[in-house]
Amino acid sequence: MSISSDIYAAEILNNVSIQFNRYFSIFIFLFGTIGNILNCCVLSRPTLRINPCAYLFLISSIANMISITCGLTTRILAGWNIDLTNTNSLSCKIRAFIMFVSRTIAFWLIAYATIDRWFSSCSQYQRRQMSSLKNAQRGTIIIIILSILLYCQIIYCYDANMITAPLPCYGKTVACRLSTDITYACLTVLCPLLIMFIFGLMTISNIRETYSITPSKRRVLKENNEKKKTLSLTIAQRERWKRIDRYLRHVLFVQIILLTIFTLPQVIEKFYTTLTM
């Protein structure tokens, strides 16, 4: 009697999983794609295009869109048992490689945006100069190259038709699974989140320090900084850039909170899968 009830429960869970992949994945795909497209439209406006933080958000949104397209389209197709990545080795490798690399790029760009906001909030002129579009572009290129190198092993490690693995498209050896899962959990998720948290707190500390400065000291600092600037901006322009910076800072903090909430369960699942192999 217990065996039949276990089989019945397993069938129910399997059916729920199939329905989830069919319909809820479509909702996530549409919601994520539309959201990232809107991000790209807003952040590519001329007024934001030269802002380093906006640039990092823009490239991160593009990377997220690539990750959603590669990750969720196959999950949706799996609901109708037509996922080629489960049976075709080449499509399995390409899908896994693109998905892991794009996710890593997106996470580290947000982490770099947090560092950029910290530079921008510093009272020292030299540190504020580090927040520039040129540095953001250089950092983006470095992050893309390192992300590609980090997951080169997937071309060898991943294979389709894996019967003993948690998924049909997965690492073909225990060493490959350990390497990929630990790399993803630590270097793709935990390290960027830790950097976001640390530099987010440091940014808040800088903002509080700025507001705690007496008006006379603030005026002296402002005059000294103005002398060092090579381009003179009008008061209206400076106020507009301050509003943009505040807006981007708020967006960044909200994104950090959401990333932490929605990715930590996946990290825990990865560690659990790795430790129970």
Residues 6+ apart with CB under 8 A from 96: 85, 154, 158, 169
Written as one letter, the residue type at 189 is V
CATH, domain range 83-275: 1.20.1070.10
Q: What is the pLDDT tens value at each position of the chain, 277 positions in all?
A: 455 665 666 677 667 766 776 777 788 888 889 989 998 998 888 877 788 989 999 999 999 999 999 888 887 777 777 777 888 889 899 999 999 999 999 999 999 999 998 998 888 888 888 989 999 999 999 999 999 999 999 999 999 888 877 778 888 888 888 888 889 988 999 899 899 888 988 887 887 776 665 455 545 455 555 544 444 446 666 666 667 667 667 777 777 787 778 777 777 777 776 667 6
Q: Are 113 and 60 in contact (CB under 8 A)?
A: yes
